[in-house]
Structure 1
Amino acid sequence: MIEPHAPAPASGPRSLGGPVRSPLPVKPGTGRFLVLVGVFVCAACGLVYELELVALASYLMGDSVTQASVVLSVMVFAMGLGSLAAKRLRLRAAVGFGMIEALLALVGGCSAMTLYAVFAWTGDWGGAWAEGPRWLLVAFSLAIGVLIGAEVPLLMVLIQRIRRQDAGGAVADLFAADYVGALVGGLAFPFLLLPLLGQLTGALLTGAINALAGAVLVLGLFRRDLSRRARWLLIVANVTVLGVLATSWVLVDDFERAARHALFGADVRVAVQSGVQEVVLTGGGNRPGALFLDGRLRADGRDGGRPHRRLVDPAMSGGPRARVLILGGGDGLAAREVLRHRGVRRVDVVDPDREVVRLARTDPGLTAMNGRSLADPRVRVVTGDVFGWLRSAPRAAPYDVVVCDLPDPGSAASTKLYSQEFYGLVGRVLTDRGRLAVRVAGGGQALDTASATVRSAGLHLVAYRGGEGEKGVGYVLAGWTLPQAPAAGRVPRPGEGHAPSTLVHPRFGD
């Protein structure tokens, strides 16, 4: 057996990667450490790619549980395929690993921009799984998973190339570095990359780091194992990848601006990424404004506030209304409808997004839509976790009306705001004659689910459909006593009693 640092025989076997064994430029201990550092960096980048796809798919298509399940399960399956495919590259481990990292950096780094572009310029992804954009998400998950899966077998060959050790010890070292890298990547994505750089730029930076790590490890530590042809192939590949990523970085702002115009129209005035969601405001001048949260329309100046009246007025017209609690509603639109009713003495608004509240108070277009409701002295605004606020809310001063103007249950963070525990907490802050109003998006099945959950908390309820222009939207009106729903298609005027219900849970929109 040839020792790790013994010169290879002149007639020894060769491949595209060059001689099988050549002296390393560093001591074995240093070389082993550098390989483990490379494993650490590549693992961190790989997990960022996975989380990036999950986050972007959840943003574009909603239902974060489904998107996470699809992306992660496809990736894990693909990693197995990549491990099997890597067996063919064992004799070319150095050049094979270098090319895989360059390709992974290109595919992973550009995946977010590609998916966002397809969504922006081809329309909504709400159709069947046979649609192209959805399959593109699966294709990226599959490709990235195959490339990630091929890393460890090749790194196993390279670390054994430096110093022979038993297979169990080598695997333990590699997986320890791999798992620690995954931990760092998993924490860096939500706490560093996403808030500071955003989804697109964060993916590009991750791809650049991935490419540099692979190139430095192979061209630096294992350069004597590479033939001249293989060396130049890796140099050209990595320079090309870094050039593509750098060009995309320079153009990312213009790309995002063009994509937003394609999604929301040419009159986008404000587009900010808060710590909770992306907030987009359109309109201005003589054009009616609109508010989008994470790409979904939340308020449209052209509808005259009718959706919020359908949410608020039935609850406000059914009994006492001196104290009102609005959960969500940081845009001030639900508060505007609440304040139209006589007898309101106090309105508490609890919203998780400080940026939405700030814009609702300062942006001219949004303040025109909400009637400057948040400036009313009867309104008090609290920013923070809605669920946590309810858990600590004092029971000594219950509310006559609670309005849930919350994000759609499309993410894991918002799903808990439609749970039995959540409605149980809401029931604790309601008076004996108190009413609860909930807006539900997603069609009849979503309304059925929300109604069953509210009922499981011990509240009586009725459900009613949204009006014209509110396809797939329904409302739940609940309380400790059986409330009455408004007549179908009709919203009562402020202070008016309810008409007898003509539409009762479970179906709507039929």
Structure 2
Amino acid sequence: MSETTAHARPRLPVPPRAARFFVLLAVFICAACGLVYELALVAIGSYLLGDTITQASVVLSVMVFAMGVGSLLSKRYQARPALSFAVVEGLLSLVGGLSVLLLYGSFAWLSAAAYQPTLVLLAFVIGTLIGIEIPLLMTLIQRIRKQEASEAVADLFAADYVGGLIGGLAFPFLLLPLLGLPKGALMVGLLNAVIGVAVVLWLFRSDLTRLAYAGLGLGLMFIVAVLGLAYYFAEEFEVDARQAMYRDPISYAERSEYQEIVLTRSLDGRDVRMFLNGDLQFSTLDEYRYHEALIHPAMDGPREDVLVLGGGDGLALRELLRYDDVESVTLVDLDPAVIELASTDPVIRELNGDSFQDPRVEVVHTDAFQWLRDNPDDFDVIIADLPDGTDVGTSKLYTVEFYALLEQALEPEGRVVVQAGSPFFAPDAYWSVRHSLEEAGISVTPYNVDVPTFGNWGFYLGASTSEGEGAPDLTLADDAPELRFLDDALLRAALVFPVDRREGEVEASTMMHPKIIGYHQDRQAWRGY
């Protein structure tokens, strides 16, 4: 049996009205699957690289361009629309379903440099296949029931847009919480293959030769088998890929609602490290250097009420609670999973001195920016121990607007300390923080110390300019506890910056102009390291 021409009406196993319903259902489901693939590519990029805007821009622009290419290519397949559509859906389900694992694997086993070309290639292939599928679906709709082209387009895009809505909502609220990113993409790939190919095998079997029918059936079984096996081994693959990204064996890993949390432990057990989305948070070998430098200069003054923004590992709390006259500490951290780990893991509990069990500590799980907007209280000391402002989500925590909220929450004689990244590896980003603080009404003293696992690291000690006082002195309190790293002599040295890392021509960062993102991306000093 030869295939019918493109203009002939197929012999359908159901009435045309029912057939049209099933084709539009296929459009709906395929559109939802396509949007999930798109969101998955953006999500895996933001997880691995942290730059959500860049990843979304690359994926969206490449896919839209590729859809245009696919639409042009679809002209070649209009003679056999049913067979072509089934083949396209099969390929789309394979590439889209496996895309997350392929990207994760390229990042883990090849290099970060190989990730971006792989992302562009996958986005282009998926976009091209989606671009081919849409005109083929319109042809199938017209063949089932004689319609004007405008009516067929209206039906097609109505189903397509509603499917996109459902796919867009299902991704964050259903697939990610229940299945996670790799398994979620694979499950969508399975659904895409079964629906896309099955509709053709059922509704348009009269259009197919016996060889084509058998080939599609075997192809569907192959795709289901490949995606099923990938689903079965997805967790093992993820564990192996994750381990490849870290020097030491992983002792704990969890993907929370907000980030990937990983603990590694050296073979001798001396070096335990925490990573959030691949970024080092601390090493047990030298974390005391960072936290002593962060906390103790701010404690030379009033300190009854303290606010900590970030610091979910409890290590900053440990240093604060060494002062007996600290009456209350409010810690604001977005991710409850980090607090839970720091409160239950034996190694971290020992490291932070069980600081979360101290009755003086109150923990709030929310966004630091929003919390400050609603905060009615003033604090003697504010500690901003927040992740670097490398993307849109974190850059707002290094803006004039954010620091203005800090200044409003500071007692007249209070002090604020901000971790500001590396003056060596990202000098423009570091000095931009100074301008942002000063524009917000906080006079600052910049200082830097060496933390071996981080490198050279910088901070700002600040005070409100509303009282007419200048930048605060970088000193330790007379009653400061015995410290392992910090003393007055080291603090005097911490005020000195080398000539090649002194302040250049940089600007403050704001919500509307997040300059700090660009300054972090232009880290010239990273080259060669």
TM-score by length of 1: 0.89
Match of 2:59 in 1: 71
Partner of 1:502, secondary structure, is: coil
Deviation, 1:93, is 0.8
Match of 1:41 in 2: 29
Match of 1:6 in 2: none
Letter in 1 for 2:388: D
TM-superposition CA deviations, 1:15-67 (whole Å, max 9, x none): 7xx99542111111111111111111111111111111111111111211111
Equivalent of 1:407 in 377, 387, 392: 387
Q: Distance in 2 between matches of 1:184 and 1:388?
A: 29
Partner of 2:450, secondary structure, is: coil
Q: Distance in 2 between matches of 1:70 and 1:466?
A: 37
1:50 matches 2:38: yes
Q: Distance in 1 between matches of 2:455 and 2:55?
A: 24
Match of 2:85 in 1: 97
Letter in 2 for 1:421: E
Change (3 A) 1:13 1:143: closer
Q: Distance in 1 between matches of 2:348 and 2:329?
A: 19
Deviation, 1:342, is 5.6
Gapped regions of structure 2 (runs ≥ 5): 476-483, 505-522
Match of 2:459 in 1: 475
1:244 matches 2:238: no
Change (3 A) 1:239 1:185: same
Alignment map for 1:303-452 (pairs within 5 Å): 303-317=286-300, 319-341=301-323, 343-395=325-377, 398-441=378-421, 443-452=426-435
Match of 1:62 in 2: 50
Q: Distance in 2 between matches of 1:381 and 1:434?
A: 21
Pick which of 435-444 and 399-408 moved more.
435-444
1:506 matches 2:503: yes
Pick which of 300-309 and 60-69 moved more.
300-309
Preserved contact between residue 298 and residue 417 of structure 2 (Cα < 8 Å): yes
Match of 1:7 in 2: none
Deviation, 1:434, is 2.1
Q: Distance in 2 between matches of 1:345 and 1:497?
A: 27
Change (3 A) 1:250 1:417: same
Gapped regions of structure 1 (runs ≥ 5): 1-9, 126-130
Change (3 A) 1:479 1:254: same
Letter in 1 for 2:250: V
Preserved contact between residue 289 and residue 451 of structure 2 (Cα < 8 Å): no
Match of 1:3 in 2: none
TM-superposition CA deviations, 1:199-258 (whole Å, max 9, x none): 111111111111111012111111111111221221222211111111111111211221
Letter in 2 for 1:244: V
Deviation, 1:473, is 4.3
TM-superposition CA deviations, 1:259-297 (whole Å, max 9, x none): 222123453222112112111122288333111112211
TM-superposition CA deviations, 1:168-192 (whole Å, max 9, x none): 2211111111111111111111111
Alignment map for 1:7-406 (pairs within 5 Å): 14=4, 21-123=9-111, 125=112, 131-265=113-247, 267-283=249-265, 286-317=269-300, 319-341=301-323, 343-395=325-377, 398-406=378-386
Preserved contact between residue 446 and residue 495 of structure 2 (Cα < 8 Å): no
Partner of 1:335, secondary structure, is: helix
Letter in 2 for 1:308: H
Q: Distance in 1 between matches of 2:171 and 2:38?
A: 10
Aligned pairs, number: 487
Preserved contact between residue 314 and residue 491 of structure 1 (Cα < 8 Å): no
Q: Distance in 1 between matches of 2:65 and 2:494?
A: 55
Q: Distance in 2 between matches of 1:73 and 1:414?
A: 24
Q: Distance in 2 between matches of 1:243 and 1:19?
A: 36
Partner of 2:180, secondary structure, is: helix
Match of 1:463 in 2: 446
Change (3 A) 1:494 1:269: farther
Q: Distance in 2 between matches of 1:376 and 1:73?
A: 51
Pick which of 491-500 and 477-486 moved more.
491-500
Letter in 2 for 1:409: G
Partner of 1:290, secondary structure, is: strand
Letter in 2 for 1:236: L
Q: Distance in 2 between matches of 1:77 and 1:509?
A: 32
Partner of 1:258, secondary structure, is: helix
Preserved contact between residue 44 and residue 100 of structure 2 (Cα < 8 Å): yes
Preserved contact between residue 283 and residue 365 of structure 1 (Cα < 8 Å): no
Deviation, 1:13, is 7.2
Q: Distance in 2 between matches of 1:432 and 1:84?
A: 67
Q: Distance in 2 between matches of 1:120 and 1:421?
A: 37
Letter in 2 for 1:358: E
